[in-house]
Amino acid sequence: MQARAHHVCCFTALVVLFFVAPYAPGNTISSDQGSHSEVSRQADAEVSRLANQLKSPDEEARRDAAFQLTQLKGDAASAALVSALTDPSPRVRAAVAAALGERAEQPVESSLASRLFADKDKFVRKTIAYALARFSGSDRAAALISALKDKDPEVRGAAAVSLGDHADASAVNALSTCLSDKSPFVRAQAAHALGMNKRDAMQTVPALINVLEKDSDEEAKRQAATALGQIGDRSSLSALERARRDKDPYLVRAAIDAIRTIEGR
């Protein structure tokens, strides 16, 4: 089966290294604490420098700051990135969204989710949708479900991909609707996401069978077959038996695997 589309490409990050003197006999506890304190001061100073760089009039300087902040831990670094989600440049906003997605710190979920609703640039919305994959809260789910109705097919596709990162029963109904989306990529990723929900997506079996038997896109059919196996409803066995005789070898493999999963073999 063809590989599932990857998430938005990670931005190149410049790693800031801080060195702590190794412990040696004779070192005192106070000197060790002093070393850590110095590292902490250096880290704080670097975050402050990069936060100021995020306010630079130069777009590339702001993007570079976002890349570097990805690698720095702590609330101050996250706060600096969140503040840049409203940067006037779409390229900077996308870089910031990707950086926050890499950090995957739960407190920033609501900020990313609200920007997915609000941003006017489709590339930024797509990047935010991908970035939300690694979160798990209700704000993430609501934003991605809403993005399944975005006017841009790439944004809808990104939302479906992220909802397929892990099970979320609250998205099942919206994902089922996406099985008839105009975009074959959206249909395929919606099927994949439904399969991730297993028995919680039982009501979508008829729609998945319809995709398996009638969709014009081969990948959508393969994902539907796999999803039917993950859901495990025996009512899909007849459709899967027919699919195992298809001319597409990848669909045949997916159908055979799904049948074996359902039958417990």
- The whole-model pTM stands at 0.83
CA torsion 173→175→177→181, rounded to 10°? 170
Q: Which residues of the chain have pLDDT under 50?
A: 1-3, 5-30
pLDDT in tens, 161-188: 999 999 999 999 999 999 999 999 999 9
| 7 Cβ neighbours under 8 A, 6+ residues apart | 130, 133, 161, 162
Q: What per-residue confidence (pLDDT) applies to 37? A: 77
Q: What per-residue confidence (pLDDT) applies to 34? A: 58
pLDDT in tens, 80-109: 999 999 999 999 999 999 999 999 999 999
Q: What per-residue confidence (pLDDT) applies to 64? A: 96
**Cα Rg, the chain, nearest whole Å:** 23
- The angle at the Cα of 220, spanning 215 to 222, to the nearest 5 degrees, equals 110
Query: Residue ranges of the domains in the chain?
Result: 167-265
Which top CATH class is 167-265?
mainly alpha
